[in-house]
Amino acid sequence: MWTDGPLCYGGDYNPEQWPAQVWSEDVALMRQAGVNLVTVGVFAWSRLEPAPGRYTFDWLDQVLDLLHGGGVRVALATPTASPPPWFSLAHPGALPVTADGIRLHHGSRDTYCAATPAYRDAALRITTALADRYAHHPALAGWHVHNEYGTTCHCEHTARAFRRWLTTRHGDLAALNDAWVTSFWSQHYSDWAQISTPRATQYLPNPGHLLDFRRFWSDTLLAAYTEQRDLLRAANPALTITTNYVLGDWVPVDHARWATEVDLVAVDHYPSAVDGGAEEQTALAADLARGWARHAAHRRPGSPPAGGAAAWLLMESAPNQIHTAGRMHTKEPGRMLRHSLAHVARGSHGAMFFQWRAPVGGAERFHSALVPHAGPDSRVFRETVALGAALRQLSEVRGSVEAAVALVVDAASGWALRHPGLPSALPDYHDELAAAHRALWRSGYACDTLTPGDPVDGYRLLVLPALYLIDDDAAEWLRGYVDGGGHLLVTYLSGVADEHARVRLGGYPGALRELLGAYAEEFHPLDAADQVRLDDGGTGRIWAETLRLTGADTVVSYTGGVLDAMPAVTRHRVGAGTAWYVSTRLDDTSYRRLLDTAARAAGVTTVCPDAPEGVEAVRRRDGAASWLFLLNHTDHEQRVPASGVDLLTATPIERAVTLAPGGVAVLREHKG
């Protein structure tokens, strides 16, 4: 397992973009930078198999030997994310089709439908050829299957596969009709053949139909992964096999479910915010990745890998750019290192990048790289070398993050909240999740993420931001947690619907009404420009509700308007625990204050109470040993009371560590 050795450092290496004479320089520069792992061949299909069944492996032989000679391990990719032009010409029916019925063409990447047999067959053939030749190559650390599974399709192959999947899920049409509430708008299906994918239609689509299509497609992509994995596993059971997740609320993949099928959760992270937002997004992405790894570890038989149950890997990030809307923001000096260590602080077993060397052409010619267009005599490459050194200095770090707070997260709730016909188009699942996470992050709480049903031992506070779909098992899981003394904070739009996105009747949130001791009789979606005032001086946006109490106390009330003096935030003591409900989207300050109150009430403390605002503190612990990561996100020097040894400078710290603007320290803490 990649997490058994030193921290991974490297990224995508695409030698096929360069003449052979560059390869030696590449390996020399990699050694200079301390690169120890590269993903090779992600988009090399047309180079590896220039014509159907004709393989050209000599160049790859040479590259792997060179890398091996240079001490660089290889995650060999299956190149199936980008079939060659000959494939598309031979199999036009395997090109993807949009919801409008428009067939996309070759000319980019990912121009295939993952449900089409011709594609799946071709993908397995090239995978087999690679496995046959390289499964025991000494350079190989493992397999990097495909790349960023995430495209979708509406072709006839997909429709047929969808129907097959539906028969498995629902058993019979009566169950499907019931789950989808096809009694609305005369949509009762009397034959499986009547069901298509949710293609463009006249007006609003059916929510159950949409939701099952997302689930089906996640499973379809997963099947495309697992059949490659099984084949590669059979070729050499000793190798790590995974695929790199692409994050984003548009991705039709249930990452938690997939986590149980990969040997290592590997994520690509590209923040979209430029200022502090990039750091918040980094922390959330890393906490999600660790949560998926932990979720899988609980479900996987056998002992955890040496890197820890929740080890994961940042598989791709951009060395020197933040891809924000409409432009690429160049990272400030030192930010590459700070972002990388923020991931390591949260459990990533290293830092990997896309890509090694900036290409002269292709669609992503301006995507940043460790070796930029300007060459190695550049700030970027000097920071590349410095990051390699820093990661080597952190080689002792192990264990996972300590957290007593967790966010409960569910991909399907995010999908369901994107459906048309909700009372408002403003609520955004990812935004709700980010708001809760940001409030905790700014206060300095360590935070895990859970999938409903995960073990809750050790957590003092669970937060449910807009967990729209709650099935009976999840409701019972939450009830048990609170009964057992847990603290739970639920926000609006949670528990409104069951697993089929059917509204639970009798007052929202139907699934949690009793637990909360309160229910909403009416929603009051707000205009984007509006806010409601609260009696503690705070404000709410996006949403409000007419709450009726059945046991809960009012913590905060609305003030003014039609909801004047009615409860906005409630608290209900149940068994040994407490259940909070928040019926509006609190402003950031109020949200932070409320979560701080709830956390303190639950007995939770922050990681580093003395850290000044703007300094992020994360602790990894392995038994008695612990390491404190301190990241200064401000542009001025900061002093943080702490003691231990700063691994990056190998300096003992007695009372406090001084962080340069944008600087980082990683302290091995004194035991006991």
Contact flag: residue 110 with a copy of itself (CB under 8 A): yes
Nearer of residues 177 and 236 to a copy of itself, judged by Cβ:
177
Sole binder of a copy of itself in the list 11, 34, 207, 577 (CB under 8 A): 207
Nearer of residues 213 and 629 to a copy of itself, judged by Cβ:
213
**Angle separating helix axes 379-393 and 20-33, nearest 10 degrees:** 50
Q: What does the radius of gyration of the chain's CA atoms come to, in whole angstroms?
A: 26
Nearer of residues 366 and 612 to a copy of itself, judged by Cβ:
366
Contact flag: residue 422 with a copy of itself (CB under 8 A): yes
Query: How many angstroms separate the CA atoms of 75 and 77, rounded?
Result: 6
DSSP tag of 497: B
The SS3 assignment for 36 reads: coil
148 included as an active-site residue: yes
Contact flag: residue 44 with a copy of itself (CB under 8 A): yes
Q: Which of 148, 279, 280, 616 is catalytic?
A: 148
Nearer of residues 26 and 646 to a copy of itself, judged by Cβ:
26
> Residue 347 Cβ, how far from a copy of itself at the closest point, in Å?
30
The contact mask relative to a copy of itself for 292-321 (x = CB under 8 A, - = no) is: ----------------------------x-
> Residue 411 Cβ, how far from a copy of itself at the closest point, in Å?
20
Helix or strand (DSSP H, E) at 626: strand 625-632
Q: Provide the residue type at 671 as one letter.
A: K
Considering CB under 8 A, how many residues would be counted as binding a copy of itself? 115
Sole binder of a copy of itself in the list 75, 94, 155, 358 (CB under 8 A): 358
The tokens 């360590």 sit on which residue?
A: 446
261 included as an active-site residue: no
> Residue 519 Cβ, how far from a copy of itself at the closest point, in Å?
7
Residues numbered 69 to 88 that lie near a copy of itself (CB under 8 A) are 79, 82-86, 88
Residue 155 annotated as part of some ligand binding site:
yes
Contact flag: residue 281 with a copy of itself (CB under 8 A): no
Contact flag: residue 374 with a copy of itself (CB under 8 A): yes
Sole binder of a copy of itself in the list 71, 171, 375, 612 (CB under 8 A): 375
Q: Which of 16, 279, 280, 316 is catalytic?
A: 316
Q: Take residue 298 and report the two structure tokens written for it.
A: 């609980």
The contact mask relative to a copy of itself for 611-640 (x = CB under 8 A, - = no) is: ------------------------------
Give the residue from 52, 55, 54, 57 showing the smallest Cα distance to 76.
Answer: 57
Residues numbered 380 to 399 that lie near a copy of itself (CB under 8 A) are 380
Q: Take residue 56 and report the two structure tokens written for it.
A: 């050209």
Query: How many angstroms separate the CA atoms of 312 and 247, rounded?
Result: 14
Contact flag: residue 133 with a copy of itself (CB under 8 A): no
From residue 570, alpha-carbon distances to 326, 436, 577, 599 in Å are: 42, 17, 14, 15
Query: How many angstroms separate the CA atoms of 180 and 184, rounded?
Result: 9
The tokens 């570890």 sit on which residue?
A: 297
From residue 643, alpha-carbon distances to 398, 573, 666 in Å are: 19, 40, 11
The contact mask relative to a copy of itself for 546-585 (x = CB under 8 A, - = no) is: x---------------x-----------------------
**Contact stretch for a copy of itself (CB under 8 A) within 94-102, 116-124, 550-558, 601-609:** 94-102
Residue 257 annotated as part of some ligand binding site:
no
Residues numbered 442 to 461 that lie near a copy of itself (CB under 8 A) are none
The SS3 assignment for 521 reads: strand
Query: How many angstroms separate the CA atoms of 300 and 62, rounded?
Result: 37
Sole binder of a copy of itself in the list 31, 68, 103, 621 (CB under 8 A): 103
Q: Take residue 355 and report the two structure tokens written for it.
A: 């890509």
Residues numbered 161 to 200 that lie near a copy of itself (CB under 8 A) are 180-191, 193-196, 198-200
Residues numbered 424 to 443 that lie near a copy of itself (CB under 8 A) are 424-426
Sole binder of a copy of itself in the list 53, 58, 168, 203 (CB under 8 A): 203
> Residue 18 Cβ, how far from a copy of itself at the closest point, in Å?
8
> Residue 227 Cβ, how far from a copy of itself at the closest point, in Å?
20
Beta bridge partners of 617: 630
Helix or strand (DSSP H, E) at 283: helix 276-299
Query: How many angstroms separate the CA atoms of 314 and 444, rounded?
Result: 22
> Residue 318 Cβ, how far from a copy of itself at the closest point, in Å?
12
Distance of CA 441 to the CA centre of its chain: 17
CB-based contact 481:456 (threshold 8 Å) = yes
Contact flag: residue 661 with a copy of itself (CB under 8 A): no
Give the residue from 324, 96, 101 showing the smallest Cα distance to 200.
Answer: 101
From residue 624, alpha-carbon distances to 235, 398, 668 in Å are: 40, 11, 11
Give the residue from 426, 435, 442 showing the smallest Cα distance to 612.
Answer: 442
Residue 447 annotated as part of some ligand binding site:
no
In angstroms, the first-to-last Cα distance of the chain is 31
Q: Take residue 623 and report the two structure tokens written for it.
A: 């038994």
> Residue 514 Cβ, how far from a copy of itself at the closest point, in Å?
15
Residue 153 annotated as part of some ligand binding site:
yes
Sole binder of a copy of itself in the list 61, 366, 641, 652 (CB under 8 A): 366
Contact flag: residue 138 with a copy of itself (CB under 8 A): no
> Residue 382 Cβ, how far from a copy of itself at the closest point, in Å?
11
- Write the burial class of residue 178 (CB in 10 Å: 0-12 exposed, 13-18 middle, 19+ buried): middle
Residues numbered 492 to 551 that lie near a copy of itself (CB under 8 A) are 500-508, 519-528, 546
Length of the chain: 672
CA-CA-CA-CA torsion sign (394, 395, 396, 399): positive
DSSP tag of 648: T
Sole binder of a copy of itself in the list 4, 50, 230, 550 (CB under 8 A): 50
Nearer of residues 239 and 497 to a copy of itself, judged by Cβ:
497
Contact flag: residue 327 with a copy of itself (CB under 8 A): yes
The Cβ-side half-sphere exposure at 289, using a 13 Å CA radius, reads 32
> Residue 473 Cβ, how far from a copy of itself at the closest point, in Å?
19
Number of Cβ within a 10 Å radius of residue 303: 8
> Residue 550 Cβ, how far from a copy of itself at the closest point, in Å?
12
Q: Provide the residue type at 284 as one letter.
A: L
DSSP tag of 423: S
Nearer of residues 298 and 373 to a copy of itself, judged by Cβ:
373
Which residues make up each annotated binding site? 109, 113, 147, 153, 155
Residue ranges of the annotated binding site for substrate are 109, 147
Q: Annotated binding site for Zn(2+), which residues?
A: 113, 153, 155
- Give the residue numbers annotated as catalytic, written as ranges: 148, 316
